[in-house]
A and B are shown apart, each in its own frame.
Chain A
Amino acid sequence: MPSLGADIETGTLVQWLVKPGDRINRGDIIAVVETEKGAIEIEVFQSGTVQSFAVQEGDKVPVGATLALIATDGETPAPPVREPVPVVPAPSSLRPAAALPTAPAPAAPPAAPAAKPASAAATAHLRISPLAMRVALELGIDPATVKGTGPGGAITRFDVEAAAKGKAAAAPPPPPPIATPSPTPTPAAKEIRPAMMAADKQAAMRRAIAAAMARSKREIPHYYLGTQIDMSRAIAWLREENLRRSINDRLLYSAMLLKSVALTLREFPELNGFWVDGAFKPGDGIHVGVAISLRLGGLVAPAIHDADKKSLSEIMVSLRGLVKRVRAGVLRSSEIADATITVTSLGEQGIESVFGVIYPPQVALVGFGKIVERPWAEGGMIGARPIIMASLSGDHRASDGHRGGLFLAALDRLLQNPEKL
Chain B
Amino acid sequence: MSAQEQTRPQTIHTTYREAMREAIRDALIRDPRVFLMGEDVGRYGGCFAVSKGLLEEFGPERIRDTPLSESAFVGAGIGAAMGGMRPIVEIMTVNFSLLALDQIVNNAATILHMSGGQFNIPLVIRMTTGAGRQLAAQHSHSLEGWYAHIPGIKVLAPATLEDARGMLWTALEDPDPVLIFEHGSLYNMEGELAADAGAVDIEHAAIRRPGSDLSLITYGGTLGKAMQAALELAAAGIDAEVLDLRTLRPLDNDAIVDSVTRTHRAVIIDEGWRSGSISAEISARIMEGTFYELDAPVQRVCSAEAPMPYPKHLEEAALPQVSVIVETARALVGKRD
B293 located at the interface, meaning its Cβ lies under 8 Å from any Cβ of chain A in the complex = yes
What chain B residues lie within 8 Å of A157 (beta carbons)? 264, 295
Across the interface, do B335 and A156 meet the contact criterion of CB distance under 8 Å?
no
- Tell me if B58 is interfacial: C-beta within 8 Å of chain A: no
How many interface contacts (CB-CB < 8 Å) are there between A and B?
38
CB distance from B288 to the nearest CB of A (A): 13
Q: Would you call A131 an interface residue if the criterion is a C-beta within 8 Å of the partner chain's C-beta atoms?
A: yes
Among residues 275 to 306 in chain B, which have CB atoms less than 8 Å away from a CB atom of chain A?
291-297
| Contacts A131-B264, A157-B264; A149 near B295 (Cβ below 8 A) | no
With A130-B291, A131-B264 already in contact, the answer to whether A154 and B336 are too (CB < 8 A) is: no
Closest A residue to B335 by CB, please name it.
Answer: A149
Known: A131-B264, A151-B331. A158 touches B294 (CB 8 A): no
Asked if B255 is at the interface (CB within 8 A of a chain A CB), the reply is no
- Tell me, yes or no, whether A119 is within 8 Å of chain B by CB: no
Q: Is B332 part of the binding interface, using a Cβ–Cβ cutoff of 8 Å?
A: yes
Contact (Cβ within 8 A) B292 A134:
yes
- Judge whether A130 and B336 touch: CB under 8 Å: no
Report A95-137 CB contacts with B as 1/0, cut-off 8 Å.
0000000000000000000000000000000000111101000
B117 interfacial contact with A, CB 8 Å: no
Q: Which residues in B have their C-beta under 8 angstroms from that of A129?
A: 264, 294-296
B289-329 vs A, Cβ < 8 Å mask (1 yes, 0 no): 00111111100000000000000000000000000000000
Q: Flag if B334 contacts A131 (CB, 8 Å).
A: no
Look across to chain A and name the residue whose beta carbon is closest to the beta carbon of B294: A130
Q: Which residue of B lies closest to A129 (CB)?
A: B295
Q: Select from chain A the residue with minimum beta-carbon distance to B297.
A: A151
Judge whether A64 is part of the interface by a CB distance below 8 angstroms: no
Nearest-CB distance from A37 to chain B (Å)? 22
Q: Interface residue count for B (Cβ, 8 Å)?
A: 13
Q: Is the CB of B292 within 8 A of A150?
A: no
Within 8 Å CB of A154, what residues of B? 296
Q: How far, in angstroms, from A186 to B294 measured CA to CA in the complex?
A: 42
Query: Given the interface contacts A131-B264, A157-B264, A158-B334, does A151 sit within 8 Å of B296 by beta carbon?
Result: yes
**Contact at B336–A131, with CB atoms within 8 Å?**
no
Chain A residues contacting B295 (CB-CB under 8 Å) are: 129-132, 150, 156-158
B-side contacts of A150, CB under 8 Å: 295-296, 332, 334
- CB of B326 to closest CB in A, whole Å: 15
Q: Mark A143-180, 1 if CB is under 8 A from B, else 0.
A: 00000011100101111000000000000000000000
CA distance A382 to B59 in the complex (A): 72
Compute how far the CA of A156 lies from the CA of B295 in the bound complex, rounded to whole angstroms: 6
B297 touches A131 (CB 8 A): no
Q: Which residues of A contact B336 (CB under 8 A)?
A: 149, 158
Shortest CB–CB separation between residue A330 and chain B, in angstroms? 14
Q: Which of B293, B331, B334 has the most CB of A within 10 A?
A: B334
**Contact yes or no, B334 A130, CB < 8 A:** no
Is the pair B334, A149 in contact by a Cβ cutoff of 8 Å? yes
Using A151-B297, A157-B264 as known contacts, say yes or no to A131 and B335 having CB atoms under 8 A apart. no
> In the complex, A383 Cα to B112 Cα: how many Å?
49
CA distance A392 to B295 in the complex (A): 46
Min CB distance B196 to A, Å, is 40
**With A and B bound together, what is the CA distance between A149 and B291 in angstroms?**
20
Nearest-neighbour CB distance to chain B for A170, whole angstroms, equals 20
Would you give the shortest CB distance from A223 to chain B, in whole angstroms?
Answer: 46
Q: Taking CB as reference atom, which chain A residue is nearest B337?
A: A149
CB distance from A229 to the nearest CB of B (A): 39
Cα–Cα distance between A154 and B334 once the two chains are bound (Å):
9
A108 to B264: give the CA distance in the assembly, Å.
Answer: 47
A158→B331 CA distance, assembly (Å) = 14
Cβ–Cβ < 8 Å partners of B264 in chain A: 129, 131, 157
Which has the most chain A C-beta neighbours within 10 Å: B293, B294, B295, B336?
A: B295
Q: How distant is the Cα of A44 from the Cα of B16 in the complex, in angstroms?
A: 69
The CA of A156 and the CA of B294, in the complex, are separated in Å by 9
With a cutoff of 8 Å between Cβ atoms, the chain A residues found around residue B297 in the complex are 151
With A and B bound together, what is the CA distance between A270 and B65 in angstroms? 91
Q: Using Cβ atoms and an 8 Å threshold, which residues of chain A touch B293? A: 130-131
Once bound together, how far apart are the Cα atoms of A313 and B297, in whole Å?
Answer: 39
CB of A147 to closest CB in B, whole Å = 11
**Please, how many angstroms separate the alpha-carbon atoms of A132 and B331 in the complex?**
17
The interface bits of chain A over 255-297 (1 if a CB of B lies within 8 angstroms of the residue's CB, else 0) are 0000000000000000000000000000000000000000000
Would you give the 0/1 interface string for B251-267, flagging 1 where the beta carbon is closer than 8 Å to chain A?
A: 00000000000001000
Whether the pair B332, A131 counts as a contact (CB closer than 8 A) is no
How many angstroms from the CA of A134 to the CA of B295 in the assembled complex?
10
Which residue on chain B has the smallest CB distance to residue A128?
Answer: B295
Q: Tell me the minimal C-beta distance from A413 to chain B in angstroms.
A: 46
Cross-chain contact B294 with A151 (CB below 8 angstroms): no
> Assuming A131-B264, A157-B264, is B332 touching A151 (CB within 8 A)?
yes
Taken together as a complex, chains A and B put the C-alpha atoms of A157 and B296 apart, in Å, by: 9
CB distance from A327 to the nearest CB of B (A): 13
Q: Which residue of B lies closest to A159 (CB)?
A: B334
Q: Bound state CA distance, A129 and B297, in angstroms?
A: 8
Nearest residue in A to B330 (C-beta to C-beta)?
A151
Closest 4 CB pairs of A and B: A131-B295, A150-B334, A149-B334, A129-B295
9 pairs, A vs B, C-beta closer than 8 Å: A130-B292, A130-B294, A131-B294, A150-B332, A150-B334, A151-B297, A151-B331, A151-B334, A158-B295
A130-B293, A158-B336 known; 11 other A-B pairs, CB under 8 Å?
A: A129-B294, A129-B295, A129-B296, A130-B291, A130-B294, A131-B264, A131-B295, A150-B332, A156-B296, A156-B334, A157-B295
